[in-house]
Chains A and B, each alone.
Chain A
Amino acid sequence: MSAAHSGNNNYYLPNPSAWPVITSAGLFALALGFILQMNDIKAGPWIMLVGAAIIIYMMIRWFGQVIAESEGGTYNAQVDRSFRWGMAWFIFSEVMFFAAFFGALFYVRQFSVVWLGDTDLLWPGFDAGWPTAGPKGPAPIAADTVPGLNQFSPMGAWGIPAINTLILLTSGATVTWAHWGLLKDNRAQLITGLFMTVALGIAFLAFQAYEYIHAYSELGLTLKTGVYGATFFMLTGFHGLHVTMGTIMLIVILGRSIVGHFRPDHHFGFEAVAWYWHFVDVVWLFLFIFVYWF
């Protein structure tokens, strides 16, 4: 089979694979279902479900195949470098995705909200400030207080968000400690470190879920609360989605560590997840500073 290409000096060239085109079909179903769902067409959620099922099934099978190839020794050092470049540039693309939303936040705060307050022609009586839900939105009050009618309370920085900052920073340390364990071939340290990291990731997500419920039920702060609500929930929401994916990735490599995968000199899968986790960590620091704190 593929052994013909996988001698020690040859670059591994995989055989034809059905997974990519299956994945594309899954993405198509997911996108189509999402469009229908947004437009209140009943079939929407079902088509989305089909798409999601295809994608999850693909991930298990396709990634499973890659893991088997890796553990089977088909990848040489050059293949390993290709994976590293691939993951690094993928993370860079994610950075640029978040940059779009941070750019929107900065633009709104520095320019458009200020300009809205500068003129009394369009919106008489609107005072520019941050946070704001705009001239037609509810009025902001002090952080973490109970809003009255047509008011909202922005999210303060020093409650749950500060705890979550500590959690994520600690998880960055534990995943590095796990990596040290792997490099020393200390399986117990690797597994313990990863286990702690997964636990911290789940704790972060639980706190964030609580924070969202708190915002919706007590602070009058929702996705629809003007541009503050929009930037707050889109930035923290996409970050939370990335933490969720990162946690799933961590669970996968925890499982792989338990069954004995990875060697001190051959563990790209571990490093890719660790890089991803650090990236999610750094994005959070920017969120904490610019969304919650200032």
Chain B
Amino acid sequence: MATAHHADHPTGLSRWLFTTNHKDIGTLYLVFAFTMAVIGGLMSLVIRAELWQPGLQLVDPHFFNQMTTVHALVMIFGFAMPGFVGLANWQIPMMIGAPDMALPRMNNWSFWILPFAATLLILGLFMPGGGPSAGWTLYPPLSAQGGIGTDFTLLSIHLLGMSSILGSINIIATILNMRAPGMTLMKMPMFVWTWLITAFLLIAAMPVLAGAVTMLITDRHFGTSFFDAAGGGDPVLWQHVFWFFGHPEVYILVLPAFGVFSQIIPTFARKQLFGYDSMVYATASIAFLSFIVWAHHMYTVGMPMAGELFFMYATMLIAVPTGVKVFNWISTMWRGSMTFETPMLWAIGGVFTFTIGGLSGLMLAITPVDFQYHDTYFVVAHFHYVIFGASVFGLFAAVYYWMPKWTGHMYNETLGKWHFWLTMLGFTLTFFPQHFLGLAGMPRRIPDYALQFTEFNQWSTVGAFMTIAAQFIFFYLAIKCMKGGERATDKVWEAADGLEWTLSSPPPYHSFTVAPKFK
């Protein structure tokens, strides 16, 4: 039935513009995400090149600030989030035994908002007065003062948010309504579980960001006083509303990666996931806690003592479910029959770097200690260990794990391992020294620094260029794998478990036209 139907489908550009197919849309998301990663990566190189030595050499400070701001926005909204939505699109229907996503036309719409939103975001940089330079957190009064470039950014955020909300609605409807008979909620693959919870977080958090951005726009152009004390408002109000979105956002970025780790580690340890139920409950607990910890980003802003204490304890509580997850991954590997193919390397590497990032997060959670670390490079090191070390590692792990299924070809294992080890080395070289820089007092978002910080900064810069260079291996490998190579079997990995491995490699156009029997 599905093959007879192929004739109706346009080819060439219109295939991609008009597609309602979850695999095509997943591919679009992934291609978009990695394109944005290149743009954001180049911006990070501008930052690192400027920080190669003290003093101002390459760019002026205003442009440097634009780079830190737009690098973050591009990487978060353009790379990490769309990357994981791409994975969700490809994988969720195959993992739950569905023919496609629940709302295929809306699926296309959620993707095609993104290139337009990204255009606005990048266009902002070329406007008179430059792009946004207030940092990605867009704190007023600085963000209230920027020129038209800031307006481009704010409207771009509105569109990006719409895309995320629509995509998440689709993911929830798919998971709740399209599972194969017999797949109860507590039998779902962990990747599906983490995406269900992530989608909930997105629908709850993105509209709050839309509200905050709307207030900023009206303060900038329509005379409201939300963030202006002269009119009875308060710039700190922005921080509260922004971080009410911003903290769930970091779990939005990391939970799908947790799901990926939970798929890959059992496969290459040749054991079942240890503590499946506790994994589900831990994910849900993290999601709940993410909504009551936002002000730990604001310890130094002058909150009442009760607030400082509440947010400190609530934040430290997150270490409990997170610890459960790390414990479960390690227990899954315990006495497993382990092999270290590229996806497994990325997954173990991701668990390792995430654990470091989680522990530095615990340090930052402690209010009096944070007074010392706030807005230093320690924070930069921490969140790159989490967003790069967990989210991006998870994204790469997933792409290597499922690429043979998607393309029907095995990738080049040697190149994959080179990609992992060079990235791991470059990543560590870039971000590990930043812990020391921050502890020694180097502030973030400043293009110049004191002489004694030079050596660590130079390591960091070398690491950044190395990391970016290593990604060319990945692009070469991925394109080669799409074009050909050793045929992949349906199961691909010896101990792979799940419905997606029962389909052919590459899978048919409509994944499951007839719902499979599950267990």
Contacts and interface: CB of A to CB of B under 8 A. Distances in A.
Interface of A: 1, 4-5, 10-11, 13-21, 23-25, 27-28, 31-32, 34-35, 38-39, 62, 78, 81-83, 85-86, 89-90, 92-101, 103-104, 107-108, 111-113, 115-116, 122-123, 132-137, 222-224, 226-231, 233-234
Contacts of B44: none
B32 to A, nearest CB: 13
Interface of B: 1-2, 4-5, 8-10, 14-15, 17-20, 98-100, 102-106, 108-109, 112-113, 115-116, 119-120, 148, 151-152, 155-156, 158-159, 162, 165, 168-170, 172-174, 176-178, 203-208, 210-212, 214-215, 217-218, 220-226, 228-234, 236-237, 240-241, 244, 510, 513
Contacts of B9: 15-16
19 contacts: A11-B98, A13-B20, A14-B105, A15-B9, A18-B17, A32-B120, A89-B173, A93-B207, A100-B208, A100-B210, A103-B208, A107-B237, A108-B237, A111-B234, A112-B233, A115-B234, A133-B232, A223-B218, A230-B226
B510 to A, nearest CB: 6
B100 A11 contact: yes
Given A13-B100, A39-B151, 19 more contacts: A13-B99, A16-B14, A17-B20, A20-B18, A20-B108, A21-B18, A32-B155, A35-B120, A78-B177, A85-B169, A85-B177, A94-B207, A97-B207, A100-B241, A103-B208, A107-B237, A135-B232, A223-B224, A227-B233
A4 B116 contact: no
Contacts of B206: 93, 96
Q: Is the interface of A mostly helix, strand, loop or mixed?
A: helix
B103 A103 contact: no
B218 A31 contact: no
Q: Is the interface of B mostly helix, strand, loop or mixed?
A: helix
Contact of B231 (A83, A89, A111, A134): A134
B148 A104 contact: no
Q: Most chain-B Cβ atoms within 10 A of its Cβ — which of A93, A99, A226?
A: A93
B118 to A, nearest CB: 11
B304 to A, nearest CB: 9
Given A28-B120, A93-B203, A112 B237 contact: yes
Contact of A11 (B15, B99, B120, B208): B99
B22 to A, nearest CB: 10
B230 A135 contact: yes
Ranked nearest first, the 10 interchain pairs of A and B with the lowest CB-CB distance are: A100-B211, A134-B232, A20-B109, A112-B234, A230-B224, A227-B232, A224-B223, A16-B18, A97-B207, A226-B231
